[in-house]
Amino acid sequence: MKQSNRKIYERSYICTTMETTKKNIDFRKKAFITEQNMILTFDDVLCKPGYTGFSPAECDISTNLGPFHFNSPICTAAMDTVTESEMAIAMALYGGLGVIHRNCSYKKQLEMVKRVKRARNFIIEDVATVSPKTTIGEVQLLMKQKGISGFPVVDGDRKVLGIITQRDIPFNDDIEGTVDSIMTKNPICLHPHITREEGLAKLYEIRKEKIPLVDSNGILAGLITKKDLKPYYPYTSKDSKGRLVCALGCSPFLPKNSQDLAYLKEAAHLVDIMMTDVAEFYKKADLEGAMEMMKELDSTFVLGNIGTYKAAEAILTYGYPEDKLIGLKVGMGSGSICTTAIQTGVGAPTFFAAAEVADAIKDYNPKIGLVADGGFKYPGDLTKAFAVGADMVMSGHFFAGCTESPGVLDNIQGRKVKVYRGMGSAEARAVGSYADDRYIKESKKLAEGVSGYIPFVGPLKGVLDQLEDGLKNGLIYGGAKSIADAYKIEIGRVTPAGAVEARPHDLIR
């Protein structure tokens, strides 16, 4: 192309791009949904190559969900074989979001949320302590239960008297006595307004792993630890206090038990986002229940799952508090372990659902985020989801085999595996009635999920790197500089023959 022609082309491309905005994109038409009422999924489409007028280094996959900023647009699903505190911590450290499951008691949910909020926090405010007369056996039990290696020792007024760590406890498991006989007395303490750099320097100077923070009267105000200061993760998802961001899967209904309600209120106050975990949210009872949740709980909410424009329209016009509702979660029956679509004949594949709901958000409240949930098989599926309006994507399949996922590592025919099960499976429901209202509560005998094994894939970081690299390349090839620009990517339908051709083929196996 001659230089003059190239300049003409680039000017033409820039002008065309400026005229196209997210406001005038018809996502349902773009996703071929309006053609003969089609319900398409990821394998039915491909993103078309687009003009790339930027360097690959400029490609930005960060995103926003309400007031929260994430350097990675990926969430782990609220499933009991995918996300507990360890996974939520790791996801936040790498810039994404972990959604803790709800197939457990409210008390356990609260404990998991506390664990996330304590992890990697520069200054731990909710400090676990012991008294001088706590027995050594009790301290050892607390260390195991809370996953903490040491405690400040305080009196009744929370004045710091000493500190006890695993290093202070003799190797003899039957050791008797109380904390005051083995604790480090009069420990070095710092003021509550210390900076990260000052804390690191002091920890290195005194060769200790923990330093209590006290006010002018010697009253405990916080704690800093070497583990929470090093190593440094540059892309961490943080809240306004510098703690890790996490979300919590929840019922659309408040618990009737007063103690459970107290646990839930405390968890909601600590956690950043509550995500209703329901197979199909577009029901009168769920809409009303969510309103009560927002009135009672101090948190922001993502409501779902839904799959149509009408469902999104109902939610967005229901009158939920603007400062509470920050997102909608879409997709029904797409997950690799979900059987809702074949058991009930009703479903909304994530690609289809994202396009439907994106149009409703565009029409009613563009500030609302869109989380595309489930059905992802390849990194390229993420690009397709963002091209039809998603702000974040959620998956269980990609992460159930990670080191950080709950569950025991098993071995089948010499291959390492982990259990992965749908929350509607008989195995998940056998745990208890905690998540019965995720499906139709009265239909307890109908399983809407399966249980099986998934290959062990190692640490989360490797999985995220593959997904993020695939997404970045997809955006670059499609001509989108960022997640916010992904709507510019054009999409085309693929024939069954085209879908086969897009995969490895004609090889001698």
Least confident of 14-28, 117-131, 202-216, 250-264: 14-28
Q: Is 123 exposed, middle or buried (0-12, 13-18, 19+ CB in 10 A)?
A: buried
Q: What is the pLDDT of residue 5?
A: 55
Select, from the ranges 36-40, 76-80, 342-346, the one with the highest average predicted confidence (pLDDT). 76-80
pLDDT mean over 289-296: 98
pLDDT mean over 81-91: 97
Least confident of 52-56, 450-454, 462-466: 450-454
> 111: how many CB neighbours lie within 10 A of its CB?
17
Q: Label the pairing between strands 415-421 and 451-455.
A: antiparallel
Share of the chain above pLDDT 70, in %: 93
Spatial separation of the C-alpha atoms in residues 243 and 381, rounded to whole Å: 31
Instruction: Kindly provide the b/e burial profile for residues 443-469, where b requires at least 16 CB atoms within 10 angstroms of the residue's own CB.
Output: eeeebbbbbebbebbeebeebbeebbe
Find, among 243, 247, 280, the residue nearest to 78 by Cα: 247
Instruction: Please identify every residue annotated as catalytic.
Output: 338, 438
User: DSSP string spanning 42-102?
Assistant: GGGEEEPP----S-GGG-B--EEETTEEESS-EEE-S-TTT-SHHHHHHHHHTTSEEEE--
Spatial separation of the C-alpha atoms in residues 406 and 87, rounded to whole Å: 8
Spatial separation of the C-alpha atoms in residues 440 and 457, rounded to whole Å: 34
User: DSSP string spanning 299-356?
Assistant: SEEEEEEE-SHHHHHHHHTS---TTTEEEEEE-BS-STTB-HHHHHS--B-HHHHHHH
Is the CB of residue 148 less than 8 Å from the CB of residue 127?
A: no
pLDDT mean over 344-373: 96
Q: Higher model confidence: residue 100 or residue 137?
A: 100
Q: How confident is the model at residue 340 (pLDDT cuts 50, 70, 90)?
A: confident
pLDDT mean over 302-327: 97
Q: Provide Rg for the chain, Cα atoms.
A: 25
Per-residue pLDDT tens over the stretch 246-269: 999 999 999 999 999 999 999 999
Q: Label the pairing between strands 184-185 and 369-373.
A: unpaired
Examine the pLDDT at 2 and tell me if it is beyond 70: no
> 175: how many CB neighbours lie within 10 A of its CB?
14
How remote is the C-alpha of 349 from its chain's centroid?
Answer: 20
The DSSP secondary-structure symbol of 245 reads P
Distances (CA, A) of 498 to 2, 301, 315, 492, 503: 35, 40, 38, 11, 9
Per-residue pLDDT tens over the stretch 22-36: 888 999 999 988 888
Q: What is the pLDDT of residue 403?
A: 96
pLDDT mean over 125-129: 86
Q: Match 């506390």 to its residue by tokens.
A: 114
Is the CB of residue 201 less than 8 Å from the CB of residue 194?
A: no
pLDDT mean over 394-416: 93
Q: Match 């372990």 to its residue by tokens.
A: 337
pLDDT mean over 214-226: 89
CATH class of 136-229: alpha beta
Q: What CATH fold (topology level) applies to the domain 16-120+235-408+459-501?
A: TIM Barrel (3.20.20)
Q: Which 3 state secondary structure label does DSSP give 414?
A: coil
User: DSSP string spanning 349-383?
Assistant: -HHHHHHHHHHHHHHH-TTSEEEEES---SHHHHH
Listed by start position, the domains of the chain span 16-120+235-408+459-501, 136-229
Q: What is the pLDDT of residue 445?
A: 67
Is the CB of residue 488 less than 8 Å from the CB of residue 50?
A: yes
Q: Match 């085999």 to its residue by tokens.
A: 401
Least confident of 201-205, 253-257, 470-474, 481-485: 201-205
Share of the chain above pLDDT 90, in %: 63
Q: Is the pTM of this model over 0.85?
A: no
